[in-house]
Amino acid sequence: QSALSQPASMSGSPGQSITISCTGSTNGFDDDDYVSWYQQHPGKAPRLILYEVSHRPSRVSDRFSGSKSGNTAYLTISGLLAEDEADYFCSSQIDITVLFGRGTRLTVL
Amino acid sequence: EALLVQSGGGVVQPGESLRLSCEASGFSIGTYAVAWVRQSPGKGLEWVSAISGSGNVTYYADSVKARFTVSRDNSEKTIFLEMTNLRVDDTAVYYCTRGPGHWFDPWGQGILVTVCS
């Protein structure tokens, strides 16, 4: 079954950098540049933070960056702030198939 | 600023129907596809359906195919998700979201659909 795997939880201290991984098992994921990342605070709707692996909407802080190597995409958050504490989801779209990872809960200690 | 505001939802019994609405503003609605994504505690985010900007092409996840119908009225700037024969496992928060490319932005505020007997 096609899936995107993320760590269930991660934590970091203010000012640190963390990297969340997203590993795809679906055919074509390693060639796919249509990976996006979403941030979701409790009780709120998801918010786009990266698209096409590493592109950032203008409203999103440059502390958020993305990369991809083979079948794994990465979201890096540098200079952690308390407001970064949230759930982070990766997503991939191949043809008409849209997949989401189960999400990573980031705790800022 | 592009904005999506949702309405509808509520509590229904298995087998009943419900219609969700998603009103768009701040962008040319006919230019963009819109998708519906749901989120339940046990399953995370799940893509449900999508409709092209013109409304001519629709897509559905296997889990809702033949039960859900997506449509749009561009003159009213509204997208609809008609849900029939609802099941307990359809219980989730449903989001509409614009698909400018192979990503989703912005998202509606979400609306809770609860199916229980």
Give the pLDDT confidence score for residue A25 in this predicted structure. 83
- Three-state secondary structure string covering B56-96: CCEEECCCCCCCEEEEEECCCCEEEEEECCCCHHHCEEEEE
CB contacts, 8 Å: A98 with chain B: 35, 47, 50
Give the pLDDT confidence score for residue B42 in this predicted structure. 65
Each residue of B53-70: pLDDT tens digit?
A: 999 999 999 999 999 999
**For the residues A46-58, what does the mean pLDDT come to?**
96
pLDDT band at residue A2 using 50, 70 and 90 as cut-offs: low
Of A87, A4, A48, the C-alpha closest to B99 is A48
Type of residue numbered A45: A
Q: Does B44 lie at the interface with A, CB-CB under 8 angstroms?
A: yes
φ, ψ of residue B77 to 5 degrees: the values are 55, 40
Do residue A93 and residue B59 have CB atoms under 8 angstroms apart? no
Q: Does B58 lie at the interface with A, CB-CB under 8 angstroms?
A: no
**d(CA A79, nearest CA chain B) in Å:** 25
Spans in chain B with pLDDT lower than 70:
42-43
**Minimum Cα–Cα distance from A45: chain B residue:** B109
* A84 vs A97, residue with greater confidence: A84
**For the residues A39-62, what does the mean pLDDT come to?**
96
Query: Which DSSP category does A94 fall into?
Result: E
**d(CA A41, nearest CA chain B) in Å:** 12
Give the pLDDT confidence score for residue A1 in this predicted structure. 53
What are the Cα distances from residue A101, in Å, to A24, B37, B56? 9, 13, 29
Q: Does B102 lie at the interface with A, CB-CB under 8 angstroms?
A: yes
**For the residues A58-69, what does the mean pLDDT come to?**
96
Q: Taking a C-beta distance cutoff of 8 angstroms, is the pair B37, A99 a contact?
A: no
State yes or no: pLDDT of A80 exceeds 90: yes
pLDDT band at residue A17 using 50, 70 and 90 as cut-offs: very high
**d(CA A45, nearest CA chain B) in Å:** 6
State yes or no: pLDDT of A36 exceeds 70: yes
Share of chain A above pLDDT 70, in %: 97
Scored b (16 or more CB within 10 A) or e, B32-69 reads bbbbbbbbeeeebbbbbbbbbbebeeebbbeebeeebb
Give the pLDDT confidence score for residue B105 in this predicted structure. 95
**Minimum Cα–Cα distance from B45: chain A residue:** A100
Give the pLDDT confidence score for residue B59 in this predicted structure. 94
